[in-house]
Amino acid sequence: MLEILGTIGANVISLPGILGLALGMMTRRVWLGALMGGLVGVAETLIFAHGSFTNVQTIELLIAVVVGLCAGSLGSAIRIKGATV
């Protein structure tokens, strides 16, 4: 359980969370922000697995993609709300 929580926390404060949020804030389309965040999650997992899918654990990839999707969607929502104020 602690390993899963550590993986989630590490992804939130790492590339999928921060870069996904930043990329999501570049667009007003929620689906595009989520897509870019998810791609950052896949790229980050591959980078830390030394570029090989054989070194990637499924749960780590899943958590990175979900965190990237959520961060990208949140970034788009921030952009939309900030533009209407």
Question: Domain total for the chain?
Answer: 1
Contact by Cβ (8 Å): 74, 23:
no
- The closest of 77, 70, 4 to 41, measured between CA atoms, is 70
Tell me, what's the pLDDT at 54?
87
Structural domain span for residue 51: 2-84
- Kindly state the average pLDDT of the residues 3-7: 88
pLDDT tens digits, residue range 11-69?
899 889 999 999 999 999 999 999 999 999 999 999 988 888 888 889 999 999 999 99
Q: What is the pTM of this model?
A: 0.88
Tell me, what's the pLDDT at 85?
65
Q: Which of 2-11, 45-54, 71-80 holds the top average pLDDT?
A: 71-80
Tell me, what's the pLDDT at 53?
83
- Distance of alpha carbon 20 from alpha carbon 36, whole angstroms: 7
